[in-house]
Amino acid sequence: MHERSLVQALIRQVEEVVREERSSDTKQPRITEVCVAIGPLSGVEPVLVQNAFQQLKTGSRLAEACLKMDKTPLQASCRDCGALCTIESFQFVCSVCRSRSLQVVSGDEFKLLAVTVDESHDQPAEQC
Amino acid sequence: MSSSNSRTIVVDRDIQQDRKRQAEALRQRMTLQGTLVVNLVSSPGAGKTSLLEATARHWKDQYRMAVLVGDIATDRDAERLAPLVPVQQLTTGGACHLEIELVERGLAALPDEAFDFLFIENIGNLVCPASHDVAEHCRVVLISTTEGDDKPAKYPKMFRTSNAMVITKTDLLPHLPFSTQAVIEDARNIHDDITSLSVCALDQSGIDRWCEWLEEQRSTMLQRAGTI
């Protein structure tokens, strides 16, 4: 169960992104949505990520934010025939030529895709 | 709800970007000073400490090795290794994996850094340590014959990200329904390039080949360092 540690890193990263984006004369925007990509080979379980996020966001700048998770497919390109394959059940075998020499091109990531902020301050946040 | 003031900032950044950079910087420092960093991962009780004891006995004074031992609650593994090699305990207080900060702290607590091999004995867990770069040059997954030969497919990330798989406790093979061939085949369906080795730490069988493999990895690293 290392999702908490990774979600802590995510929250720090989101706070950093918002800090970098904000010019000095604007007020602190409200963070309304955080969008991440999670692949089957990321080593994290989306349900546990969502739970950890809901717990850890309390008291942070992300308290009102929703977490949106884009689940990416596990795909690899074949070094022998060049085919792009979708990997099922973690069997890294080319669906065209049966080669096992495959390079993962997507599906091993856990990354922050985007942060949505609301810069108006008089409206209540939507419930997640 | 008006959304006129809503703005989306596109980021597209690895969540562990900072930790990965930190790990890469340490790996480069280790490369330049000639230290091969090996991250040992396995289930609890697969024989990581026994493998390290056997490695230290095999090399004797031929190479300088040190160990950082991750443990949730005790320093029992560090106590076992202390008579043989410099060792530093990393007690995680419940965390299921090691992270780069702990490794850096442990490294700083060792008497010096001039080692040929630095082993990081990770927490016994085939899941979480797979996602954390601890500045290793090689990740080695141990699988003991008593665990069963179905492990690679059950823990694909660990086997996909490991450079070598060491089958341990091979002296028990005659008594167990464990097929070395099946486990290698299973691992290769996940990671075609994985190196397979077999050892029995108790009688030192296979330890010579394991040590040779480590020496080869270090030579390759030194060659690469020479071209930096």
Rounded distance, CA B165 to CA B42, Å? Answer: 10
Instruction: Give chain A's contact residues with B (Cβ, < 8 Å).
Output: 1-2, 5-6, 9-10, 13, 17-18, 21, 29, 32-33, 36, 41-44, 89-93, 100-102, 104, 108-120, 123, 126
Residue numbers in A near B9 (CB within 8 A): 17-18, 21, 114-117
Q: Which of B43, B227, B59 is nearest to B152 (CA)?
A: B43
Residue in this structure with the two tokens 């030194």, named with its chain if needed: B222
The answer to whether B72 and B123 are in contact (CB under 8 A) is yes
What's the pLDDT at B182?
Answer: 97
Q: How many CB atoms lie within 10 A of CB B36?
A: 24
Q: Is B96 on the interface with A (CB under 8 A)?
A: yes
For the segment A83-101, what is each residue's pLDDT rounded down to a tens digit? Answer: 999 999 999 999 999 999 9
Nearest-Cα residue of chain A relative to residue B10: A114
What's the pLDDT at B24?
Answer: 98
What's the pLDDT at B170?
Answer: 98
Rounded distance, CA A76 to CA B65, Å? Answer: 37
Determine, for residues A2 and B11 on separate chains, whether the beta-carbon distance falls below 8 Å: no
- Give the number of residues written for chain B: 228
Determine, for residues B4 and A120 on separate chains, whether the beta-carbon distance falls below 8 Å: yes
Instruction: Look at phi and psi of residue A88 and say left if phi exceeds 0, alpha if psi is from -120 to 50, else beta.
Output: beta
228 residues of chain B, pLDDT tens digit each: 454 689 999 999 999 999 999 999 999 999 999 999 999 999 999 999 999 999 999 999 999 999 999 988 888 889 999 999 999 999 877 788 999 999 999 999 998 878 999 999 999 999 999 999 999 999 999 999 999 999 999 999 999 999 999 999 999 999 999 999 999 999 999 999 999 999 999 999 999 999 999 999 999 999 988 865
Shortest distance, CA A100 to any CA of chain B (angstroms): 6
B210 token code pair: 């394991």
What's the pLDDT at A125?
Answer: 56
Determine, for residues A92 and B10 on separate chains, whether the beta-carbon distance falls below 8 Å: no
Residue numbers in A near B96 (CB within 8 A): 1-2
What's the pLDDT at B222?
Answer: 96
Mean pLDDT by 10 residues, chain A (128 residues): 90 94 75 97 95 96 97 97 95 95 96 94 60
What's the pLDDT at B94?
Answer: 78
The answer to whether B67 and B92 are in contact (CB under 8 A) is no
Q: Containing H/E element for B14?
A: strand B6-14
Shortest distance, CA B16 to any CA of chain A (angstroms): 7
Model pTM score: 0.92
Rounded distance, CA A6 to CA A109, Å? Answer: 12
Q: Which of B105, B100, B101 is nearest to B89 (CA)?
A: B105
What's the pLDDT at A27?
Answer: 74
| SS3 annotation, chain A | CCHHHHHHHHHHHHHHHHHHHCCCCCCCCEEEEEEEEECCCCCCCHHHHHHHHHHHCCCCCCCCCEEEEEECCCEEEECCCCCEEECCCCCCCCCCCCCCCEEEEECCCEEEEEEEEECCCCCCCCCC
Determine, for residues A111 and B19 on separate chains, whether the beta-carbon distance falls below 8 Å: no
Axis-axis angle for helices A46-56, A3-21 (nearest 10): 60
What's the pLDDT at B95?
Answer: 83
- The Cα angle at residue B108 between residues B106 and B112, in degrees rounded to 5: 110
Residue numbers in B near A126 (CB within 8 A): 1
For the segment B31-57, what is each residue's pLDDT rounded down to a tens digit? Answer: 999 999 999 999 999 999 999 999 999
What's the pLDDT at B38?
Answer: 98
Determine, for residues B189 and A29 on separate chains, whether the beta-carbon distance falls below 8 Å: no
Rounded distance, CA B146 to CA B177, Å? Answer: 9
What's the pLDDT at B226?
Answer: 82
Determine, for residues B9 and A29 on separate chains, whether the beta-carbon distance falls below 8 Å: no
Rounded distance, CA B149 to CA B32, Å? Answer: 38
Q: Which fold has domain A3-72+105-118?
A: hypothetical protein PF0899 fold (3.30.2320)
